[in-house]
Structure 1
């Protein structure tokens, strides 16, 4: 077993736990409307997930249908070998229903990080005067959209893998090469977002100066204690802002790493064809070196090996490739949807 899978799963679980804790904090607030916003976006993302899961593979090439079919067939064969009659572990409708519920929870967790990112993006653009930094900020904001478009089949097939040159389409790369390029592009966009973290956090800290300038325009006298509390409130909330900025990035990065490992992808653009390895000689030599008195141990090791190989036949790379591709796409889609709504809200619906 690859030990990196354990670390990726641990980091992913901690990131979800952090977002869950922040969301539960919003539910504890009685006066504000944060609870209603989370519930509304949760239902919105549930409907959106159900709609996306209905779309065929001709438009969104996750490989989810192929992976689930392979999983069902492998599970039925395994149960038949065990002498059990079954029509499959779970129906496709039930699988998609629970997957949509999980996606709605992820969307609810990413609601306020996306809204906050939109506000920091606008403030960072107003704060920055360099053209290069502004361009990087725009690319950083549109990065989830680029990730979403990487799984749109008409774009990837017709314009990237087989670009039209005149009247004919010339194959530019293979599917394996495009899968590798897609992984690298997601990692580069995640690195860009991490590099632009300082600009966004500095834009948030400038809210204290904006509040001070706004208070100076108001009538009446302001005590120094109230002014200090207001500035300290912005400073202490910086930890929450940093978590809301980093946690979705960590989720997206580690789902990509899991997709590479469990989906049997490669980091090389042109991977070499790996030759099959014959393990029969190695295994027989190992068993021959065992003493005859350890017959029970040999049988136990053989049973464990057979059980693990059976699980590998059920949970195939096709299943992980489809499921993790969908989850990676979904996280990027939720980030872009919430940040786009936040951009519209802070740009047109709030009073300066």
Structure 2
């Protein structure tokens, strides 16, 4: 995710270097838009958007306070909830700004790919691929998905079909499948972009005056050279989404099994063997062993602070946010290319 974020950052800085175009204004506008949107989303309660962010932050704050108290430090917590959400909204606005042009480009390629597709199956897959981020967004909307899937109303009684762990696993698998579908449809979208060269040639033929062969070759070559940027804009958000999903599975302590076995939580003894170290070892080796033991215990204490509850809430929100940004920008791009551009 770090590499792909760096790639998107490099592409965005290239748009800021352009003086004539309006790419800079588009990035800044969408950045402010996503900042306001992130602040609004972070206000929504867990009854509607169930990320577990509130529970994870509360667990993190309480564990950090206990850790600081054991170290003899008085603190009310590492950071307040308002500050945490403010910096998280800033980070979300940067992600939204980076995903602006990939979403706009995807909308244009989607329309061109639909015009090229002749089979109904291909057109259906293209529509599903375009709506894939929306399906991912709805997976965390509790009244729409979780309540109806886990406890569907069957007559007067609601029969639970699955547990929360099973639903979390199905959600991860559905994101993986939708990402695989988007990767499979990459060839159709890139071919639709390459056909822009033919459209440009046809448009130039309609214009009055002579057109030199050199200008025509430059125009066609420009489309083919820019294909690398288009491929990066198509793949980078996909890799970011897959990365956050896999991190959610690993750090959030989820399972790939549909019916995962309950994980047994055994108590861990973090006591320091200080007496045995001082009594059995010489002074120099004993001090070194005590230092190593203290570092090990400190690292294990950090594991109690950064718990799976915190990672579940944070990574669930980031996964949902990336999908929401992709769908918002692609939907705006669809409206722009279909209704605002002049044919």
Per the TM alignment, residue 183 of structure 1 is displaced from its structure 2 partner at its CA by 0.5
Distance 1:178 1:204 in 2: 38
CA distance in 2 between counterparts of 1:59 and 1:24 reads 36
Could you tell me which of 336, 339, 342 is aligned with 1:348?
339
Deviations 1:268-295 (A, max 9, x none): 1111268889999999999999999953
Is the alpha carbon distance of 1:314 and 1:279 closer, same or farther for their aligned partners in structure 2, counting shifts above 3 Å?
closer
Alpha carbons of structure 1 residues 158 and 284: separation in structure 2 relative to 1, 3 Å:
farther
Residues 177 and 280 (structure 1 numbering): CA distance in 2 closer, same or farther, change over 3 Å?
A: farther
CA RMSD of aligned residues (A): 2.6
CA offsets 1:29-75 (integer angstroms, 9 cap, x no match): 00000000000000000000000000000000000000000111011
Quote the offset at 1:156 in angstroms.
2.5
For 1:79 and 1:32, the matched residues in 2 are separated by 52
TM-score by length of 1: 0.91
- Partners of 2:197 and 2:114 lie apart in 1 by 17
CA distance in 2, matches of 1:339, 1:326: 20
Gaps of 5+ in 2: none
After TM superposition, give the deviation of residue 158 of structure 1 in Å: 2.3
Q: 1:50–1:96: 8 Å Cα contact kept in structure 2?
A: yes
| C-alpha distance in structure 1 between counterparts of 2:211 and 2:282, whole Å | 86
Deviation at 1:166, TM superposition (A): 1.1
Equivalent position SS for 1:280: coil
Of 281-290 and 253-262, more deviation after overlay is shown by 281-290
Q: Deviations over 1:181-205 (max 9, x none)?
A: 1011101111111111110000000
Partner secondary structure for residue 325 of structure 2: helix
Shift of the 152–289 alpha-carbon distance from structure 1 to 2, 3 Å rule, reads farther
- Relative to structure 1, is the Cα distance of residues 209 and 261 closer, same or farther in structure 2, using a 3 angstrom cutoff? same
Q: How far, CA to CA, are the matches of 1:204 and 1:284 in structure 2? A: 71
Kept after mapping to 2: 8 A contact 1:42/1:108: yes
Q: Say which SS state the counterpart of residue 273 (structure 2) adopts.
A: helix
Q: Which residue in the other structure is 1:87 paired with?
A: 76
CA contact 1:116–1:342 (8 Å) conserved in 2: yes
State how far apart, in whole Å, the 2-side matches of 1:306 and 1:280 are.
8
Unaligned runs of 5+ in 1: 1-11
Q: Deviation per CA, 1:120-144, whole angstroms, max 9, x where unpaired?
A: 0000000110111111111100000
Change (3 A) 1:82 1:283: closer
Moved more, 121-130 or 150-159: 150-159
Distance 2:70 2:267 in 1: 27
Q: Any runs of at least 4 consecutive aligned residues in structure 1 with deviations exceeding 4 A, and if so which?
A: 273-294
Deviations 1:234-287 (A, max 9, x none): 000001100100000010000001111110001111112688899999999999
Task: Rate the CA distance shift 1:46–1:220 in 2: closer, same or farther, 3 A.
Answer: same
Whether the 8 Å contact between 1:158 and 1:164 is mirrored in structure 2 is: no
Say whether the 8 Å CA contact 1:49–1:104 is kept in structure 2. Answer: yes
Distance in 2 separating the partners of 1:86 and 1:279: 23
Q: Deviations over 1:104-156 (max 9, x none)?
A: 00000000000000000000000110111111111100000000000001123
Is the Cα contact below 8 Å between 1:115 and 1:342 reproduced in 2?
A: yes
SS at match of 2:211: coil
Alpha-carbon separation, structure 1, partners of 2:14 and 2:196: 22
> d(CA) in 2 for partners of 1:306 and 1:262?
20
- CA distance in structure 2 between the aligned counterparts of 1:284 and 1:63, rounded to whole angstroms: 42
1:201–1:242 Cα contact (<8 Å) kept: yes
Cα distance in 2 between the residues matched to 1:157 and 1:232: 50
Which TM-score applies when normalising by structure 2?
0.94
**Which deviates further from its counterpart, 292-301 or 62-71?**
292-301
Is the alpha carbon distance of 1:191 and 1:289 closer, same or farther for their aligned partners in structure 2, counting shifts above 3 Å?
farther
Contact 2:270–2:297 (Cα < 8 Å) also in 1: no
Aligned residues: 341
Residue 296 of structure 1 deviates from its aligned partner by 3.9
